Chain A
Amino acid sequence: MTALGLGMIILLGAIVVLFFVVMFVVSAYNRLVSLRNRYKNAYAQIDVQLKRRYDLIPNLVETAKGYIKHERETLENVTKARNIAYAAAQTAAANPGDASAMKNLGSAETGLAGTLSRLMVVSEQYPDLKANENMMQLTEELTSTENKISFARQAYNDSVMTYNTQREVFPTNFIANTFNFGPAESFVIDKPEEKEAPKVQF
């Protein structure tokens, strides 16, 4: 009877411990999944605004073309940069958080921002273009969309950070590695001014 009692207790203890372990694993896994979904949804918000911007840019270029006849290169650069960014966004949308896709998108967007700012600088010199109603409306929508992109980007980066932290923290990191939860990459765009190398003056 004693052996039975001892065996019983050990068995019970084993069941309860096993249960706790299983519950912990399941809950950690679910938490990682939910955080991953959160940053993917956050990326989807950026994607909507990016697409809007890519749709606005050809209109902008067309409108400006009529006025800026001698700055063809500037306009061509804008279109080229826009196409590169569009392609990068497609890849990133298919795989949000993937390191190479996000880095590509980041640099493509930085490039696009640079060409657009140069276009804005150039168009300052054409008062007719500045006064054009279509142009004003388009630049206004563009600014608004860029505001929304940066807001959404902030939310995305916040959720990426939360996910990455959860991934690395003990003991969830075991679950993360076992079930192949890779790190997510944040979305960084450099401001055009920062890309200019600082002029050193002695």
Chain B
Amino acid sequence: MDFFERQEKSRRNTKFLVVYFVAGVAMMILTIYLVASVVFNVAGSRHRHHYYGYDYDSQVQMNQVPLWNPKLFCGVAIGTLAVIGIGSLFKTMELAQGGSAVSSMMGGRLINPNTTNLDERKLMNIVEEMALASGVPVPQVYVMDGEEGINAFAAGHTTSDATVTVTRGCMKLLTRDELQGVIAHEFSHILNGDMRLNLRLLGIIFGILCLAVIGRVLLYARGGSRDRNALPLFGVVLLILGYVGVFFGRLIQAAVSRQREFLADASAVQFTRNPLGITSALKKIGGLGESGSRIRHAHAEEISHMFFGNGLSAPLFTLLATHPPLVDRIRAIDPSFDGKFPPVKYPSEEEIPERIGRTAAPPRFPGIPPIVPAAVALGAVMPNLGTPNTAHLHYAVELRNSYPPALQTAARDAMGATALIYGLLMSTDSAMRAQQLDLLAQNTSAAVRQETERLLPQIDPVATNAKLPLVDLALPGLRQLSPAQYQQFSKATQALIEADGQIDLFEYVLQKIVLRHLDTQFNGARKTVTQYYALTPLATDVSILLSALAHAGSNDPAQCQSAFQQGAQSLSSLMPTPLRYVSSDQCNLPQVDTALARLNQAAPQIKKNVLNACALVVAADGVIEEMEAELLRAIADALDCPMPPFLQSAEPAAAAATPNAG
């Protein structure tokens, strides 16, 4: 099952969510109505008895319990729906901020990207390596300081606003390999589309759990006259019903999350090729006893489906379990597991010093570890998309260590990160560069220009295939910008790109990646709604994109046209009319921008076909060069399909990209 199929599956599961939710709400309304009708009939009979004194009992007994009371039913239905609806809406709006909303809700503390604390540094290094290996920007990392158990979760709508949160227990009790296994599991969630599903579930669950909260509030409300003595009673009732809500909530969570845990475990093993890492992390959880992965925080209930291990106490019914049993999970990876959990030892002191000192042969110059090819095989492009494996991880470790320390440090603070991006946008021509630096000083300040000039000698030698990863590393630093500084930054990058008056597709896509990922933080997280399920409405956009790629590859019009044809041909079976080749003045940067934005709203399978076509266009001259490969990776990023770095050793999978893809 490739990346696109997994995304598709996750999208379909989201539809099931709605079904479960509606069923759950309907049952809740019924239950509440039944209880309410009993309550109000009791209250009503006492009321009548009090006011009318004489014995109405005989008459009352005849219509004691009218099971169907339309007014009451409407009232209950409307009230419940209003509460659940408002609650879910409220939570969903709160979650618009992205993963950081969930992490802060759970009491997480944001780890400073340039932290010097050894445990935090170890964690950040692991996360950076995983991000480089997957081709996603480095997510924000949070720590739940008050939690001693071993647990973690990933939250967010897209890779732009993703956060990874771990407990303090994770940092203290796990070795580097085990921690890597846990983080790989979380990255699998990020790449499988689970995050989006989970976040939507969270919004919905909150509405159902609201009733329990309201019940608690009403319980302590003062009853006034005897007319209103039903109020605190109703509070008790709501409280009980709130727990009915909890029951249904957990049912829904369990239905959605259990299978995905097995999948994420398997992906993690594929990623790290180190089954020991994740199995021994799971064994440590078991070794800690009953509360190995327990989360004490009050909000644990709401996100229990997102945790690495079971965050709540053992469920009453296995039907309500959000996670498969530990032993089953371990056996799924390591069938020889005997079921006994060894006692937990704290990792020895020698473990903690970083592996930074242990790089292999010194790289030729920054950013080119020896295993990266100068040209990429066409067959290697699509299969690895969204499916990083161990080779990518090793490459990522080497790559990260090959960047000069000055660049690594610069990436982690705001000013350094902006200087890094400005440096990557600088022209190689010295006259143009001088002009750009002047523009930079005009748009920002002399200090920023000074910093950029300081870093330029180290940015220039960075190889082409190491530029995009550098951008991914710089995202944490860029996130520290204030909104005003971010505005300044985006204007400055625009000025730098427009300075030479020429269209440089690579420059443009680089800027697009940065702004796209930061946009979610500064302008609210976007939830891309899939709008296009067929290729036909997107015909113009695809033509623009493929034409732009063709023009970028060559100056000879005939060659461009034939390159375009190669790509268009692969899509011909999916479209009634053939794609039109567009001249270069009609596929300028703003148009490519719009085209990519629209293509981003397409279903996963469509994106797969489009990316395949792009790869064919780029490979039309017989070989995909480094620059073209990076361009492909950048376009894949713009379409929210993270592409791992290209490696020599990448095995073209059996289902290699062919001209007749689909």
Binding site for B on A (CB under 8 A): 3-5, 7-9, 11-12, 15-16, 18-20, 22-23, 27, 30, 33-34, 37, 41-42, 44-45, 48-49, 140, 143-144, 147-148, 150-152, 154-155, 158-159, 162
- Which residues of B, 108-136, contact A by the 8 Å Cβ criterion? 110, 112, 114
If over half of B's interface residues share one DSSP class (helix, strand or loop), that class is named, otherwise mixed; here it is helix
Count of B interface residues, CB-CB < 8 Å: 44
Question: Which residues on A sit within 8 Å (CB–CB) of B71?
Answer: 4-5, 8
Interface 9-residue window, one of B254-262, B411-419, B576-584: B411-419
Q: How far is the CA of A42 from the CA of B485 in the complex (A)?
A: 13
Q: Does B484 contact A (CB under 8 A)?
A: yes
Contact of B447 among A9, A18, A27, A151 (CB under 8 A): A151
- Which residues of B, 317-334, contact A by the 8 Å Cβ criterion? none
Question: Which residues on B sit within 8 Å (CB–CB) of A9?
Answer: 75
Question: Which residues on A sit within 8 Å (CB–CB) of B448?
Answer: 147, 151
Q: Does B67 contact A (CB under 8 A)?
A: no
Query: Across the two chains, which residue of chain A brings its CB closest to B44?
Result: A4
Whether A33 touches B450, Cβ cut-off 8 Å, given contacts A12-B79, A27-B90, A41-B110, is no
If over half of A's interface residues share one DSSP class (helix, strand or loop), that class is named, otherwise mixed; here it is helix
Pair A48/B112 contact, Cβ less than 8 Å: yes
Whether A18 touches B214, Cβ cut-off 8 Å, given contacts A4-B44, A8-B71, A147-B450, is yes
Q: How far is the CA of A12 from the CA of B78 in the complex (A)?
A: 9
Pair A155/B414 contact, Cβ less than 8 Å: yes
Contact of B110 among A15, A27, A30, A37 (CB under 8 A): A37
Question: Which residues on B sit within 8 Å (CB–CB) of A42?
Answer: 480, 482
Contact of A18 among B75, B217, B413 (CB under 8 A): B217
Q: How far is the CA of A152 from the CA of B416 in the complex (A)?
A: 11
The smallest beta-carbon distance between A34 and chain B, in angstroms, is: 6
Q: Does B40 contact A (CB under 8 A)?
A: yes
Question: Which residues on B sit within 8 Å (CB–CB) of A37?
Answer: 104, 110
Extra contacts besides A12-B78, A15-B82, A155-B485 (14): CB < 8 Å: A4-B71, A7-B230, A8-B75, A15-B79, A19-B82, A19-B86, A23-B90, A33-B104, A34-B97, A45-B480, A148-B415, A151-B447, A151-B448, A151-B485
Whether A48 touches B83, Cβ cut-off 8 Å, given contacts A15-B214, A150-B447, A158-B485, is no
Pair B110/A16 contact, Cβ less than 8 Å: no
Q: How far is the CA of A49 from the CA of B230 in the complex (A)?
A: 62
Interchain Cβ contacts under 8 Å between A and B, 16 examples? A8-B75, A12-B75, A15-B82, A19-B214, A34-B104, A45-B414, A45-B480, A49-B413, A147-B415, A148-B415, A152-B413, A154-B482, A154-B484, A154-B485, A158-B484, A158-B485
Closest 3 CB pairs of A and B: A158-B482, A151-B415, A155-B482
Q: How far is the CA of A91 from the CA of B450 in the complex (A)?
A: 31
Q: How far is the CA of A68 from the CA of B425 in the complex (A)?
A: 43
Pair A158/B483 contact, Cβ less than 8 Å: yes
The smallest beta-carbon distance between B462 and chain A, in angstroms, is: 20
